[in-house]
C-alpha cells in the first residue's frame, strides 16, 4: 500500500488549535494562507472568517529602518521586555524583495535569537512570493491569525527601502521609524515621506560614544517634525534616543506607544484608523480579485494582445480598449 502524505488538518482542527494558542497550528495556518493553490485559498478564507470574532485584540506596531539600524536587536529586546510583563508577542515581516534576493533578511529567527526561544513569542519571516500587494495581503491575514492565537502585541517589521513601509503603516496602529545617529547631514538620508507617516522616531544605538551624536540627531528631527503638520491634532510624534543593544529607552518607548493608544482611543481615532484600514484591505483584495479574473479569462487572453496592438498603432483609444476588455468580463458599467 502506498503511503500518502499526512492529511492536512480540517477546518475545525485549525480553528480550535489556533484559538488554543497552538503555535504549530498557527504556523500551518499561515502556510495555508500563503499558499497559491486555489483549494488552499478557499479554505484559508473560510478559516479567517471563522476566526474573525477572535481577531482585532492586539496592539499592532510597525517598525521600519534601513538594514543595520538595529531592528532585530531592538525587537528582540523589546519583545523580551514585553514577555517579562506577561505579553505574547508575534513578529511578522514584510519584505517584497526577499523573492529576488532568494531569502528573507527580515523576520529571520536567527536575528532574534532570544525571542525565538520563547514560547510566548512567534516569529514569522516575510512571505516570499508575489508583489508588494500580495505580500501585504498575506501579512494582514497572518496578523489576524496571530491575534486569534492570543498574541496581544503584533510587530510588523519592514526594511526602510521602497514602498513597503507605506503598506505596513497602513496595517498597524502605531508606526515606529528607527534611525541612526549621524552627522548634520542626516536629514538628507531619510525620505520625508517616512517622517510624515511616523508616529514616533527613535534614534537607535544611543550608547557609548554615540550618545552626543544621537542626542543632536534627535534635536534635528524634532525641529524637522515641527515644520511638518502632524497628521492628527491628538498626537505629535515624539523623538526618542534608545539603545536596543543596551536595553536603554525601551521602557519609555513602550510607554509612548501605550500613551498613543490611550489618546487615540479616547478621541475615536484609534477605531477610525482601523476602519479605514479594513476598507483599504477590502479594496486591495478587490483589485487583486478583479485582476486575477481578468488574467484567467480566456476571451480576455485572446483579445488583449490584439487590442494592445491596436492601441500601440494609434488606431484605438486606450479608453475604448479598456471598455472592450472590461466588457468581456461582464463587469462593465451596465
Question: CB 207 → ligand GDP: shortest distance, Å?
Answer: 5
Task: Indicate the residue among 17 and 249 with the shorter CB distance to ligand GDP.
Answer: 249
Q: Mapping DSSP to helix (H, G, I), strand (E, B) and coil, where does residue 241 land?
A: strand
Where do the H-state alpha helices sit in 152-268?
164-169, 192-197, 211-227, 250-267
Q: How far apart are CA 214 and CA 207, in angstroms?
A: 8
Alpha-helix runs per DSSP H in 85-131: 98-101
**Minimum gap (Å) between residue 64 Cβ and ligand GDP:** 9
Nearer to ligand GDP, 237 or 249 (CB): 249
- Contacts within 8 Å (CB) and 24+ apart, 298-302: 299/328, 300/325, 300/328, 300/329
Nearer to ligand GDP, 69 or 225 (CB): 69
Sheet holding 153-159, edge to edge: 121-124, 89-94, 153-159, 59-65, 174-179, 200-203, 239-241
Kindly tell me the burial class for residue 229, based on how many C-beta atoms sit within 10 Å of its own C-beta (0-12, 13-18, 19 or more).
exposed
Residue with Cβ nearer ligand GDP (30 or 112):
112
Using the minimum distance from each CB to ligand GDP, give the nearer residue, 113 or 226.
113
Which residue in the shown chain puts its C-beta closest to ligand GDP? 70
| CA dist., res. 157 & res. 78, Å (int) | 13
If the CB atoms of residues 58 and 69 are measured against ligand GDP, the closer one turns out to be 69
* Least Cβ distance, residue 168 to ligand GDP (angstroms): 14
Q: How far is the CB of 65 from ligand GDP (least distance, A)?
A: 5
Q: Which is nearer to ligand GDP, 186 or 269 (CB)?
A: 186
149 vs 124: CA distance, rounded Å? 14
**What would the DSSP string read from start to end of 40-66?**
HHHHHHHHHHHHGGG-S-SEEEEEEE-
We find the least distance from the C-beta atom of residue 325 to ligand GDP, in angstroms, to be 43
Shortest gap between Cβ of 143 and ligand GDP (angstroms)? 20
Q: How far is the CB of 78 from ligand GDP (least distance, A)?
A: 11
Of 207 and 220, the one with the shorter C-beta distance to ligand GDP is 207
Q: Which residues bind ligand GDP (CB under 6 A)?
A: 65, 67-73, 111, 204-205, 207, 243-245
Q: How far is the CB of 246 from ligand GDP (least distance, A)?
A: 6
By the 8 A CB rule, do 204 and 242 touch?
yes
- Taking alpha carbons only, the member of 310, 312, 311, 307 closest to residue 324 is 307
Amino acid at each position: 500500500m502506498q503511503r500518502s502524505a499526512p492529511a492536512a488538518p480540517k477546518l475545525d482542527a485549525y480553528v480550535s488549535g489556533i484559538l488554543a494558542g497552538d503555535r504549530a497550528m498557527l504556523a500551518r495556518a499561515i502556510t495555508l494562507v500563503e499558499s497559491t493553490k486555489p483549494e488552499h485559498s478557499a479554505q484559508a478564507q473560510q478559516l479567517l472568517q471563522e476566526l474573525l470574532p477572535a481577531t482585532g485584540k492586539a496592539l499592532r506596531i510597525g517598525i521600519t529602518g534601513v538594514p543595520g539600524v538595529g531592528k532585530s536587536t531592538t525587537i528582540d529586546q523589546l519583545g523580551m521586555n514585553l514577555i517579562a510583563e506577561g505579553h505574547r508577542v508575534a513578529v511578522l515581516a514584510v519584505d517584497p524583495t526577499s523573492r529576488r534576493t532568494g531569502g528573507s533578511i527580515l523576520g529571520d529567527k536567527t536575528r532574534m535569537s532570544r525571542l525565538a526561544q520563547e514560547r510566548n513569542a512567534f516569529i514569522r519571516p516575510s512571505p516570499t512570493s508575489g508583489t508588494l500587494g500580495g505580500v501585504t495581503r498575506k501579512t494582514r491575514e497572518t496578523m489576524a491569525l496571530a491575534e486569534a492565537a492570543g498574541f496581544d502585541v503584533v510587530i510588523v517589521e519592514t526594511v526602510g527601502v521602497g514602498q513597503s513601509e507605506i503598506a505596513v503603516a497602513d496595517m498597524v496602529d502605531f508606526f515606529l521609524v528607527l534611525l541612526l545617529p549621524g552627522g548634520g547631514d542626516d536629514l538628507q538620508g531619510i525620505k520625508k515621506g517616512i517622517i510624515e507617516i511616523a508616529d514616533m522616531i527613535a534614534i537607535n544605538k544611543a550608547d557609548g560614544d554615540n550618545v552626543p551624536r544621537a542626542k543632536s540627531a534627535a534635536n534635528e528631527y524634532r525641529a524637522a517634525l515641527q515644520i511638518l503638520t502632524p497628521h492628527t491634532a491628538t498626537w505629535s510624534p515624539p523623538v526618542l534616543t534608545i539603545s536596543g543593544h543596551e536595553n536603554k529607552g525601551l521602557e519609555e518607548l513602550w510607554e509612548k506607544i501605550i500613551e498613543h493608544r490611550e489618546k487615540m482611543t479616547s478621541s475615536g481615532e484609534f477605531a477610525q484608523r482601523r476602519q479605514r484600514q479594513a476598507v483599504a484591505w477590502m479594496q486591495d483584495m478587490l483589485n487583486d480579485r478583479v485582476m486575477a479574473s481578468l488574467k484567467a479569462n480566456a476571451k480576455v487572453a485572446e483579445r488583449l494582445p490584439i487590442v494592445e496592438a491596436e492601441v500601440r498603432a494609434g488606431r484605438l483609444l486606450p479608453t475604448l480598449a479598456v471598455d472592450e476588455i472590461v466588457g468581456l468580463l461582464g463587469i462593465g458599467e451596465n
